Amino acid sequence: MTCRVGLLWDTPLVFSRLIEDCGASCETVTPHMLATPFWRGSFAALIVPTGFANPAYSKLLPALRASSDRIERFVERGGRILVFGAASPHQNTYDWLPIPVTYLHSYGPRAVRFTADSPYNTLLSGYDLDAVECDGTFPSHGGKTLAATPAGETVLIMKETGDGVILVTSVHEYPSREFLANFSCADRETLF
């Protein structure tokens, strides 16, 4: 069993301390590293934090777009990727993923209900499901809705692709410790 996460961001984040506290090693993968074709990392999972498409917070989106083929291969070969809300008014900010995802930015607390059984529902373990901070919804997507508001607004998507999985969420909270402990570990690392 290996527990190694690539946290995609411009600079180190406190988020990495939470990942490490849950038993995984965590490496910050900067936009320059991500977009460089000769850089190779090996991970069980990749995490893209909230705000990745907002230039006020990060310069990550162009690098994600430049490495979309590598991201797709990573997932198909068994890697896992967790992508949070774009925090951007543009709907096409997930165009680097191998599945279609349309995003509608709208920050605020939402009641969240699980629509399907999944081990990934532990993302919200310990949270008050009647008031989960979210930064938007996904009006259309090419995955399976795992969680939505009572009005049917999707906030958590899952898509199995090849041997791996893509999770996309607009939840504006850190994942639960239970979720991170499981999501961050796999039988093997996958080359990015």
**CATH number of the domain that residue 65 is part of:** 3.40.50.880
Residue 4 has which token pair? 């190694």
- Distance, in Å, from the CA atom of 90 to the CA atom of 72, rounded to the nearest integer, reads 22
Look over the chain and give the mean of its residue pLDDT values, rounded to a whole number: 97
Please state the domain count of the chain: 1
Number of Cβ within a 10 Å radius of residue 33:
17
CA 129 to chain centre: 19
The string of pLDDT tens digits covering residues 160-176 is 999 999 999 999 999 99
pLDDT for 13 equals 96
Q: What is the mean pLDDT of residues 82-111?
A: 97
Q: What percent of the chain has pLDDT over 70?
A: 100
Instruction: State the pTM of this model.
Output: 0.97
Q: Which long-range contacts (CB under 8 A, 24 or more apart) does 9-13 make?
A: 9/49, 9/52, 9/58, 9/60, 10/58, 10/59, 10/60, 13/49
Q: What is the mean pLDDT of residues 78-95?
A: 96
Q: What is the mean pLDDT of residues 136-165?
A: 98
Q: What is the mean pLDDT of residues 24-35?
A: 96
| Residues whose CB falls within 8 Å of the CB of residue 17, separated by 6 or more in sequence, listed in order | none
pLDDT for 100 equals 98
Q: What percent of the chain has pLDDT over 90?
A: 98
Parent domain of 97: 2-191
The string of pLDDT tens digits covering residues 67-82 is 999 999 999 999 999 9
pLDDT for 188 equals 95
* pLDDT of 56 above 90: yes
